[in-house]
Amino acid sequence: MPSAARRKEPQHAEPPAARPRLVVALGGNALLRRGQAPNAATQRENVRDAVTALAPLARDHALVLTHGNGPQVGLLALERAAGSYPLDVLDAETEGMIGYLVAQELDNALSPHARAAALLTQIVVAADDPAFGAPSKPIGPCYPAAEGRALATRFGWTMLESADGLRRAVASPRPLRIVESSVIELLLAHGVVVVCAGGGGIPVLERADGTLVGAEAVIDKDLASSLLARELGAAALLLLTDVDALYADYGTTRARAWREVDTATLASHTFATGSMAPKVAACREFIAAGGGFAAIGRLDAAADILAGRAGTRIVAGSVPDRWW
């Protein structure tokens, strides 16, 4: 029986199948902030804060949550560097670890009549994807230059330069198909809040006979979330991070935050490869496939972003740029 202490949320006005679907992606840095100790207590505290912002969205929406795992999978890869665990297994491990915390805290916060479930999610990628020959996805912590070079020599890692040092880079192929889509559909039909495609999901290759095998890669979480939103026919896609909005000319004296912008305008701008570029690409792909709108902003402002009171809303067509 549910605890009497559990929060009593208003009951849904519509049956589960009638509620609009909403896919919300939580950035890895929003769940494990820069400079924080990467331990279970810190992770749970951040997850609890995230759920406080997200649980109200489940009142009126069929809610699907995804999350990043960049800091976590990189740390596990370092711990397992001398072992025999490939990246797809570490992807699954971090998806289960973070998904467990998110689902449990959601269960604690939702009404007694709503439940959450975390689902390990396999996502098909192509064996001939060029990404396998050009690692570009940063994972794990930043290392001082000397330490990063030593790790690269010791483990054969590819390293990328960042403002704070060196980070490991791994292959990041494009997501093509979500294997568990029908399971997610079933859970949503029964009113379950679904936590899935964590860390971009588990990359798998499809053999000629239709069987699957893991791939040594990490899929970009935002692109996986966009694919998920398209496959589920979501009304909106929210990409939540530790930045308040999407900026034009970010990092310069001309920087301005968009309140609303169309996809054609975004196509004429350049964004940072390791941060906003995949988010913008994910939003554009979702909208191009007929999605309603996408938005980018801070995790703690989730409800305001959905309502258009915060963050940046990205839409189709041609609209005048609106600024904060």
Residues marked as catalytic: 28-29, 137, 221, 279
Residue 129 near residue 173 (C-beta atoms within 8 A): yes
Q: Which residues pair with 101 in a beta bridge?
A: none
| Distance (Å, whole) CA 255 – CA 201 | 33
Angle at 271 between CA 268 and CA 274, to 5 degrees: 150
Kindly list the strands in the beta sheet with 212-214, ordered across the sheet, starting from the edge strand earlier in the chain. Answer: 177-178, 122-124, 202-206, 212-214
Residue 119 near residue 228 (C-beta atoms within 8 A): no
Q: What is the 3-state secondary structure (H, E, C) of 216-251?
A: CCCCCHHHHHHHHHHHHCCCEEEEEECCCCCEECCC
Q: Which residues pair with 143 in a beta bridge?
A: 166
Q: Identity (one letter) of the amino acid at 180?
A: E
Residue 215 near residue 204 (C-beta atoms within 8 A): yes
| Distance (Å, whole) CA 88 – CA 85 | 8
3-state class of 240 per DSSP? Answer: strand
33: left (phi over 0), alpha (psi -120 to 50) or beta: beta
